[in-house]
Amino acid sequence: MEVFKNGKNFAIAIRNVKGTDFQKRVWSEICKIEIGNVLTYQDIARNIGQPKSARAVANACGKNPYLEIIPCHRVIRSDGKLGGYSGKGGVERKKELLKSEGLKFNNDLKLILN
DNA sequence: CTTGGGCGGTAAA
DNA sequence: TTTACCGCCCAAG
């Protein structure tokens, strides 16, 4: 059994999750991102000890089975652009989610740092 | 801005 | 066991 925490500090136990070890490591790492924060795919890769696996991390995000729990929208590209979003609404939805968490973007969908 | 090479995990063939 | 596919990254031009 894996234990995930989201940004609101709810602990959520998930049994019989369907996915590979790699995917679970990625997902649990994503759950650590707090509201208003973002990490890059590369950051996640580094945090799980596989700095060269940024692309694979993106794959795992896309297969996230718990869209409502795991904040995969808080993962963006290392150049500050949004990247993709496989949930309903696509990147536009991703952008709105992040804006509602207090982040801002320029017209190139690029994150504006404070 | 574009391109081209490199990359790793996964599902399907 | 290969292949094809990607929500990526980086260096050059």
pLDDT for res A18 = 85
pLDDT confidence tier of residue A16, bands split at 50, 70 and 90: low
Q: Looking at the domain assignment, is residue A111 inside a domain? A: no
pLDDT confidence tier of residue A8, bands split at 50, 70 and 90: very low
Q: pLDDT digits over A68-96, tens only?
A: 889 999 999 999 999 999 999 999 999 99
Residues 10-69 of A with CB within 7 A of strand B = 19-23, 50, 52-53, 55-56, 59-60, 63
Q: pLDDT digits over A17-43, tens only?
A: 789 999 999 999 999 999 999 999 999
Q: Looking at the domain assignment, is residue A93 inside a domain? A: yes
Cβ atoms A110, A81 nearer than 8 A = yes
Q: Looking at the domain assignment, is residue A110 inside a domain? A: no
Total-model pTM: 0.88
Q: Looking at the domain assignment, is residue A32 inside a domain? A: yes
Domain count, chain A: 1
Please check whether strand C approaches the CB of A7 to within 7 Å.
no
Nucleotide nearest to A59 (CA to C1'): C6
